[in-house]
Structure 1
Amino acid sequence: MSKQLHISPSLMTMDLDQFKEQITFLDSNVGSFHIDIMDGHFVPNLSLSPWFIEQTRKLSNKEMSAHLMVTDPVFWVQQLIDIKCEVICMPAERINGVAFRLIDQIHDAGLKAGVVLNPETPVSEILPYIDIIDKVTVMTVDPGFAGQRFLKKMLHKITELRQLREDNGYQYLIEMDGSTNKEHWKMIHDVQPDIYVVGRSGLFNLTDDIESSWQQMISEFEEETGEKFIQVEAQEAA
């Protein structure tokens, strides 16, 4: 058996000493890039920024997906629109009252709008606007730090979202974010997300260089799932 996989590396976990080398290699292998943006308030950490996306764009024309972990999504959404970040994923917990306006604002700019469900947030939270979003990111770890404990019970949200999409003809993609690695490949793959975010434990820390780490990731996927790894055709920015 084989399965096309859309892999989206979490650039927060890459080795910045090898920034150019890693982006250049991944550019020809991944479906998109996942960029975590944290403000130190929504989660107790600071991470990447719109400026980082601009720097990455100098080396890659692949789709950039921003994962906002911020208390003021209105402020950050406009910055990401200004640099034409292709996908802007907002925290469901912080957009109540402005969700429709922000989604319309992103779509009016010709970009894609997504929402992120933290572990404690049920799928029902986004039902009022689920029909107009382009992506739902399901967190299977607590947000804000790499290496958090994998929360297996969150995988049921992916199954729920797939059923909702099938029953209603929705168009959103389902992304899984959190501890995608050898230990969890089988259970994650069983629920069939559309996009797999991989980070430190599943890619960047496997070996000393990105090419051999990529090959080890593929080997671990095939060993744990019994399926052949086939990379989905990479998304390029418009």
Structure 2
Amino acid sequence: MYKFSPSLMCMELTRFKEQVEALNERAHFYHVDIMDGHFVKNITLSPFFIQELRKISKLPIDAHLMVEKPSDFVDMVIDAGADYLSLHAETINGDVFRLINHIKDRGRKFGVVLNPATPLDSIKHYIHHVDKLTIMTVDPGFAGQKFVSEMLDKIKEAKKLKEENNYKYLITIDGSCNKNTFKQLVEAGAEVLIVGTSGLFNLDEDVNKAWDKMMETFNHEVKDITNVAN
């Protein structure tokens, strides 16, 4: 079954509790973007946001650290309640094994994120430790950007590697997951779709109705592919 992870930077924050309580019954993960204004030119959510989210949800929280120095944030987001820590490969080469060991020693899952221009080969020495592999299909930093179709080949490569080596990572897609891309992503090997503005929240003011519309579209687009989500 395919899984869906709402990107909460795209939600209506004035209706935080209402929307989270609705999504608790439908989503599989929550995706929380933490940006420092340096690695990307934007500032979004924070460890405090995760702390507040944890109070009203038991779903797994995936903290996506779009920051220059992830080691400065790791313990903060773990203490706040994150279950997965997804770190950009571009930021961790200097201490990646130390970070992996620390995250797993604290009982959390290690995720790695690849920007569109970063090849899968760049993580070959630690890919076997990865629990969640996130492939960016847009350049990071802002919502609503154009889908980078060249990333379909990277998704296929990640799926092939996973099957050939019995790796356990979840193939996760971040960026422009919506009615125009669902079929291509699933066919390429996507397992978790991070849905934001175009894929979910802009479909209806009522997030319950928005979810139903998203799933109707998704199931229609992938109806000829096996293991379609319910």
TM-score by length of 1: 0.93
Q: Indicate the residue corresponding to 1:86 in structure 2.
A: 83
Q: Confirm or deny: 8 A CA contact 2:219 2:229 kept in the other structure.
A: no
Residue 78 of structure 2 is aligned to residue 75 of structure 1: no
Out of 6, 9, 17, the residue aligned to residue 6 of structure 2 is 9
Q: Which residue type is aligned with residue 177 of structure 2?
A: T
CA displacement at 1:172 relative to structure 2: 1.2
Q: Confirm or deny: 8 A CA contact 1:84 1:111 kept in the other structure.
A: no
Q: Confirm or deny: 8 A CA contact 1:6 1:194 kept in the other structure.
A: yes
Q: Confirm or deny: 8 A CA contact 2:51 2:81 kept in the other structure.
A: no
Residue 28 of structure 2 is aligned to residue 31 of structure 1: yes
Q: Confirm or deny: 8 A CA contact 2:6 2:31 kept in the other structure.
A: yes
* Residues in 1 aligned to 2:213 and 2:78: alpha-carbon distance in whole angstroms: 36
Q: Confirm or deny: 8 A CA contact 1:24 1:59 kept in the other structure.
A: yes
Report the more deviating stretch, 35-44 or 163-172: 163-172
Which digits, 9 at most, give the CA deviation of each residue in 1:128-147, with x for residues without a partner? 11111111100000100000
Residue 216 of structure 2 is aligned to residue 181 of structure 1: no
Out of 128, 140, 144, the residue aligned to residue 143 of structure 1 is 140
Q: Which residue type is aligned with residue 134 of structure 1?
A: D
Residue 101 of structure 2 is aligned to residue 101 of structure 1: no
Q: How do 1:219-234 and structure 2 match up within 5 A?
A: 219-226=216-223, 230-231=229-230
Q: Which residue type is aligned with residue 57 of structure 2?
A: S
Q: Confirm or deny: 8 A CA contact 2:35 2:67 kept in the other structure.
A: yes
Q: Indicate the residue corresponding to 1:192 in structure 2.
A: 189
Q: Indicate the residue corresponding to 2:61 in structure 1.
A: 64
Pair 1:145–1:213, CA change in 2 (3 A): same
Q: Indicate the residue corresponding to 2:17 in structure 1.
A: 20
Q: Which residue type is aligned with residue 6 of structure 1?
A: K
Report the more deviating stretch, 97-106 or 188-197: 188-197
Report the more deviating stretch, 156-165 or 121-130: 156-165
Q: How many residues align?
A: 228
Q: Which residue type is aligned with residue 112 of structure 1?
A: K
Residue 227 of structure 2 is aligned to residue 206 of structure 1: no
* Residues in 2 aligned to 1:84 and 1:206: alpha-carbon distance in whole angstroms: 29
Q: Confirm or deny: 8 A CA contact 2:116 2:137 kept in the other structure.
A: yes
Report the more deviating stretch, 198-207 or 214-223: 214-223
Pair 1:124–1:229, CA change in 2 (3 A): closer
CA displacement at 1:229 relative to structure 2: 5.1
Residue 109 of structure 2 is aligned to residue 112 of structure 1: yes
Residue 120 of structure 2 is aligned to residue 123 of structure 1: yes
Q: Which residue type is aligned with residue 158 of structure 2?
A: L
Q: Which runs of 5+ in 1 are unaligned?
A: 232-238
Q: Confirm or deny: 8 A CA contact 1:7 1:30 kept in the other structure.
A: yes
Which is bigger in relative contact order (C-alpha 8 A, separation at least 6)?
1
Q: Indicate the residue corresponding to 1:236 in structure 2.
A: none
* Residues in 2 aligned to 1:9 and 1:97: alpha-carbon distance in whole angstroms: 31
Residue 163 of structure 2 is aligned to residue 166 of structure 1: yes
* Residues in 1 aligned to 2:73 and 2:206: alpha-carbon distance in whole angstroms: 33
Q: Which residue type is aligned with residue 30 of structure 2?
A: F
Q: Which runs of 5+ in 2 are unaligned?
A: none
